[in-house]
Structure 1
Amino acid sequence: MDIVDLKTFEAVARHGSMNKAAAELHTVQSNVTARVRALEEELGMPLFQRHARGVTTTPAGIRILPAIARITKLVDDVVVMAKDDGVPGGSLSLGSLETTMALRLSPLITRFARAYPSVRLAVNAGTTAQLLLDVAECRLEGAFVAGPIEHPDIHQEALFTEELVLATSPAIRSLKDLAKIPDLKTVVFRLGCSYRQRLESLLGRLGVVVAKPLEFGSLDAIVSCVAAGVGVTLLPKGVVIPAAKAASLAIHAIPRDLGRADTLFIRRHDAYVSSAMAAFLEMARRHTNKR
């Protein structure tokens, strides 16, 4: 089984398009098509359903994707191991909650980039659910997510503890006022955000009926909508303090079991810890201890 065929299949499955996969792999579509067909013939079953808009991965293709991710990651790790002489270098692909990026990571990333200029660090934002999946399926080497989580393939380490607060417009003076608002809306990140789940639990505990959530992909958009009175949200206190001090938002303490959340750094148990990853983790731990 050819590793290039496997990588080609993964790229097509991710993009849903032979053309886009070819562009990513710096080849032509005919080469991509030939490699996919060769893999399908070797396995004895179709991996894609072809249609006018591109391709859709078959159930068989979906089943083998996690294994292909692990295989290609192991092959990539061989190259990293061979070149890793103990001096941090190469690439390091990480993920983070957007709130963690805004509140915690800027000084850490700046310090790391200055200390290790040879490392090509990339950090992508996402929800806890998506980042967990990306690490488990080897698309990211590690990520900052909100705990608690459970996954048999994932190593986790608590680095920060966040105090979560309910953020509302200044017109809402207490949690009791929420029940008086007809069709109260929540303003949240997309499904898979652990803070969103806690907000739903809080409002359910208060007996508050909410309308369909308003989903945004931007922290700034969520804060702006809440300040405008569009709805309410649940976020780390440090993220919303500036707006609260400017009287744009009101913040409300919530019960401790919902209002304390560990931020975890996760990676696969079986992943090779490169010198770049080891240096980043050591710096993150020191950064945590200084706070």
Structure 2
Amino acid sequence: MNRIALFHLETLMWIDRLGTFAAAAQRLNTTQPAISARVREIEEQLGVPLFQRDGRRMVLTARGRRLVEAAEPLRQGLEQVLLEASDFAGATGNVRIGSGEIAAATCLPGYIAAIERERPGVTLEIEIDLTARLLQNLLAGTCDIVFLAGPVASPGIRTAPIGAVELVWAASPAVAAAGGFARPLPVWSLPDHSPLHAVTLDAFEDGALAARSLGTCNNVRTLIEIVACGQGAAVLPETMVRGELASGALVEVLPRPSRRIHFEAAIRTREREAVVLDLFKRAGQLSIDQGGA
């Protein structure tokens, strides 16, 4: 029997995790025919089929499942030993990172710079999305690490806190000079699945504000621009409007909410990729309120 290489086992793992040859090819930076060839090689060597089609997905056969479950700890153990021997200097591969907009605007730039400097062989693929979709992508295996608003409670997720963001009620100086919430104002917020939306609704229930309307926008930076142009007020992350508050482009129009938005880095509970675990450990050392410092 010819030797089965580590890349064969890695291929089986990613097909199993992502469900298709095409997705595994994209994840491993190769082509679908190359993935098919790898599967064919290992099936010919073992003399048994390893995958069967289930709708649009490829699923492991019983023998394929036993092979992956038995071989995966060996593959991961060898990778860990080799990376630790080089202090991770030789780490390579693609790591897919998903982030919410607030984390992307604060701690993520410094985190990316540190990874590129200290892990030059690791390629990062960054996707900015909403927390709910980030969580779905992580569980589906299409993201390796995500930065999201928490707390997140899921048996399939392991998290590390990275700090909290203070919130401010802000409007343009012109709106504030005209009386602010002394008269009904248009109020803007992120959509209803966002923690910022919940804080906005709390203010309504507490009677802290009267609104002429409640508009939503799924992009914080656009929300800031709407408010700065005098189109109403919004509760915003202090870290993202610190410059506007300092310059006077925005002013605070209500006391700051007592509630803060907490953020976490997250990976799958069953994650065993040494490079991903290394980057997750680094993520747990971030502070979202210091721009990655």
- TM-score of the superposed pair, with normalisation by structure 2: 0.66
Match of 2:250?
A: 249
- Counterpart CA distance in 2 for 1:179 and 1:9 is 60
Distance 1:169 1:150, change over 3 A: same
- Counterpart CA distance in 2 for 1:250 and 1:80 is 56
Q: Cα deviations across residues 86-134 of structure 1 (Å, max 9, x unaligned)?
A: 2332121111111111111211210111100011112211112221222
Match of 1:275?
A: 274
SS in 2 for 1:140: coil
Residues 172 and 250 in structure 1, CA contact (< 8 A), matched pair in contact too: no
Q: Mean alpha-carbon deviation: is it higher for 158-167 or for 280-289?
A: 280-289
Aligned residues: percent identity? Answer: 20
Q: Which runs of 5+ in 1 are unaligned?
A: 12-23, 28-37, 41-46, 49-60, 66-70
Match of 1:284?
A: 283
SS in 1 for 2:147: strand
Question: What's the CA shift for 1:255?
Answer: 2.9
Residues 175 and 230 in structure 2, CA contact (< 8 A), matched pair in contact too: no
Distance 1:79 1:213, change over 3 A: farther
- Counterpart CA distance in 2 for 1:10 and 1:210 is 50
Residues 94 and 141 in structure 1, CA contact (< 8 A), matched pair in contact too: yes
Q: 1:208 aligns with which of 207, 210, 224?
A: 210
- Which protein shows a greater Rg? 2
Equivalent position amino acid for 1:7 in 2: G
Root mean square deviation, CA, Å: 3.7
1:161 maps to 2:164: yes
Q: Cα deviations across residues 173-211 of structure 1 (Å, max 9, x unaligned)?
A: 49x9436225x23143x4532222322322332363453
Residues 244 and 250 in structure 1, CA contact (< 8 A), matched pair in contact too: yes
SS in 2 for 1:186: strand
1:39 maps to 2:40: no
SS in 2 for 1:148: coil
Question: What's the CA shift for 1:214?
Answer: 3.0
Equivalent position amino acid for 2:101 in 1: E
Distance 1:220 1:80, change over 3 A: farther
SS in 2 for 1:211: strand
Equivalent position amino acid for 2:223 in 1: I
Residues 167 and 257 in structure 2, CA contact (< 8 A), matched pair in contact too: no
Paired residues, what number? 234
